[in-house]
Amino acid sequence: MSAVLSPAARRPIRELPDELVSQIAAGEVVERPASVVRELVDNALDAGATQVTVRLLAGGVRLIAIEDDGCGIEREQLPLALKRHATSKIGSLADLESVGTMGFRGEALAAIASVSELHLLSRTAGQASAFLLDASSGELRPAARSTGTTVEVKELFFSTPARRKFLKTDATELAHCLEAVRRHALARPDVGFTVWHEGKLVEQWRAGARDQRLADVLGEDFLGDSVAIEHVAGPLRITGRAGIPDAARSRADWQYAYVNGRYVRDKVITHAARSAYEDLLHGQRQPVYVLHLAIDPTRVDVNVHPTKIEVRFRDSREVHQAVRRAVEAALSAQRAGQAAHPQAVLPVAAPAPSLPAWRQPGIPFAAERSADLAALWQPPQDDGGGAAAASTWSSPAELAPPAAPLPAGDWPLGRAIAQIQGIYILAENAQGLVVVDMHAAHERIVYERLKAQMDAQAIRSQPLLIPATFPATPAEIATAEAMQSTLELLGLQVTPFTPKTLAVRAVPATLAQGDAVALARGVLAELAQHDASSVVERARNELLATMACHGAVRANRKLTLEEMNALLRQMEETERSDQCNHGRPTWRQLTVRELDGLFLRGR
């Protein structure tokens, strides 16, 4: 531990040398070689480049060279480009508040030059030759190059060896550099990108259509395992693709979010996208997506972080709600209804009082089974909130709209042929064999019907005999006062008890036996950070999911072929029918080719 300096020994306040100031700035901007790659590719794109080439040695530690075919830098301005806070992209506070370029702060080149050997080679269309600037000596001389710019960075952190010790292996640093280029490539399919390492071509992405770029960067499987997003909400336009639940990964490494073409890591966007998958993903699986948000630059602050990777929205709840709804809308199209016809989107039937869920037009219903199946729709007995549950389950007819059957042979999930162990339904479709988990599938059908019915209803609350009090933070007290109506919709009554204490006076009837304080604190934290409507929906959905699980057809129940077919037709017309409420898959397709492979046919 260092000793505390006495007043006499303390150093006087003084101005830091420019070189040290630049090295301090470099510590904020340049974390590793990938940081340099990101900053220099930003500049290349701002210069209007249509082709960017990245050359690396030792993972970027020994050499980073970025070549572009952009507009170039004039000879007289080359020395100025290396000065701190010198930029062509902003000139006033108004420009800063509506930034439309990738780079704008003007410290990147100066910071990089302070911790490396930097050479800047550039030529504009109007110049007879290019000019090369040595950052360390300031020497400027003519050189050969076509229109565009090359920035060459050698021996990164040579002047700050302590920083260099924190770098990882060459392979690790190369992986980070490739990821930096990959992020740009996903945002700009109109620009070609090439990456060389140690003289070998590592990656090459040619300019083309957006979907082709997605396939080139993330693989052909990503296109097949994702759905398109196209959503407009006021000043926000959201496009991109969201991976289906089956494509989820164990890590959140395939989550790409862009704001006005800039890759960002933003908690609002991340939470909104993840919440759209709430009852679709199993366990801790992470969704995959590429989201592009177009928003008025004056409604987002991109100047909150030196690396420009974080942003702040003027209205974060507006953004959260728009992103969540955009992803939800894309995911709600049922893939089960497209199993045999990937390009066809079947209409989703609207809930309407009609026949029981198992009774479909054109499919005979076994009279001797009707009473047995009707029992499946009875609500579970629940001492805590049975009355609320029973009101929801008043009649099977209220839950089951009729599903117009497709012509024979055109059913996407096929025609049922057998049941295994009272658990799985086997069906034959045009592609081969379909295996359905009947409990999981029916659970989703019941759940979606319940959600549709509960949309306009509040959750019944139960007063507590003795209010549960707890010491609250100023933020919790403010949220409780501001969100009284939302809390009531959730079945919660939380009121001030003292200036520093809150009292929970009522909770949802179904959760009356739980920890009232923990529930209230959790809801208040959600309301303080996220859109109120999403919190209400999440609480409702958790209650309905429990009810649907108890009400769905149980395993080990023998069904007739007619009843199995009825379930398949319901799946084809139910949103999100590919997963149950807990995120488990409800069906799987085995193609004829896969079946042939199991038996070595054709080999």
Nearest to 61 by CA among 209, 227, 198: 198
Which amino acid appears at position 168 of this protein?
A: K
The answer to whether 558 and 423 are in contact (CB under 8 A) is no
Quote the pLDDT of residue 578: 87
Distance, CA of 82 to CA of 519 (rounded, Å) = 55
Distances in Å between the Cα of 528 and the Cα atoms of 155, 255, 278, 499, 532 are 47, 25, 19, 19, 8
Quote the pLDDT of residue 505: 95
CA atoms within 13 A on the CB side of 226: 25
The answer to whether 505 and 535 are in contact (CB under 8 A) is no
Quote the pLDDT of residue 405: 47
Distance, CA of 532 to CA of 221 (rounded, Å) = 36
Cβ–Cβ contacts within 10 Å for residue 59, how many?
Answer: 26
The pairing of strands 415-420 and 300-301 is unpaired
Which residues touch 461 (CB under 8 Å, ≥6 apart)?
488, 491, 492, 493, 506, 507, 508, 509
Nearest to 440 by CA among 310, 319, 578, 536: 578
Distance, CA of 294 to CA of 304 (rounded, Å) = 19
Distances in Å between the Cα of 362 and the Cα atoms of 111, 402, 419, 562 are 74, 11, 21, 10
The answer to whether 543 and 447 are in contact (CB under 8 A) is no
Nearest to 442 by CA among 516, 330, 356: 356
DSSP string covering 85-137, please?
T--SS--SHHHHTT--SS--SS-HHHHHHHTSEEEEEEE-TT-SSEEEEETTT
Nearest to 325 by CA among 267, 272, 248, 255: 272
Which residues touch 545 (CB under 8 Å, ≥6 apart)?
279, 447, 581, 582
Distance, CA of 224 to CA of 272 (rounded, Å) = 23
Q: Give 481-490 contacts, CB < 8 A, sequence gap 24+.
A: 483/524, 483/527, 483/532, 486/527, 486/532, 486/535, 486/536, 487/523, 487/527, 488/458, 488/461, 489/458, 489/459, 489/536, 490/459, 490/523, 490/535, 490/536, 490/539, 490/540
Cα dihedral across residues 539, 543, 548, 549: positive or negative? positive
Quote the pLDDT of residue 139: 92
φ/ψ (deg, to 5) at 140:
-125, 125
Cα dihedral across residues 100, 104, 105, 111: positive or negative? positive
Distance, CA of 491 to CA of 540 (rounded, Å) = 10
Cβ–Cβ contacts within 10 Å for residue 515, how many?
Answer: 13
Distances in Å between the Cα of 245 and the Cα atoms of 222, 242, 525 are 12, 9, 27
Q: Give 448-455 contacts, CB < 8 A, sequence gap 24+.
A: 448/574, 448/575, 448/576, 448/577, 449/351, 449/357, 449/399, 449/400, 450/392, 450/399, 450/544, 450/547, 450/548, 451/540, 451/541, 451/544, 452/351, 453/351, 453/392, 453/398, 453/399, 454/392, 454/540, 454/544
CA atoms within 13 A on the CB side of 430: 10
Distance, CA of 499 to CA of 474 (rounded, Å) = 9
CA atoms within 13 A on the CB side of 317: 10
Cα dihedral across residues 395, 401, 405, 410: positive or negative? negative
What's this model's pTM, rounded to 2 decimal places? 0.69
Distance, CA of 225 to CA of 34 (rounded, Å) = 29
The distance from CA 539 to its chain's CA centroid, rounded to whole angstroms, is 21
> Could you tell me the mean pLDDT of each successive run of 10 residues in the chain, 603 residues long?
53 75 66 91 93 96 95 91 72 63 69 90 94 92 95 86 79 94 96 96 96 94 92 93 90 92 92 88 87 92 75 90 93 62 33 31 33 37 38 35 48 91 91 92 83 68 93 92 85 91 88 82 80 69 68 76 90 86 86 89 75
For residue 363, give the H/E element and its range. none
For residue 144, give the H/E element and its range. none
Quote the pLDDT of residue 91: 61
For residue 390, give the H/E element and its range. helix 386-392
Residue entry with tokens 């920890």: 515
Cα dihedral across residues 271, 296, 217, 331: positive or negative? positive
Quote the pLDDT of residue 81: 86
Burial class (CB in 10 A: 0-12, 13-18, 19+), 603: exposed
Structure tokens at 52: 């960017």
CA geometry: angle 165, 158, 164, nearest 5 deg: 15
Quote the pLDDT of residue 4: 52
Nearest to 408 by CA among 440, 356, 439, 362: 362
Quote the pLDDT of residue 454: 67
Nearest to 67 by CA among 150, 191, 185: 150
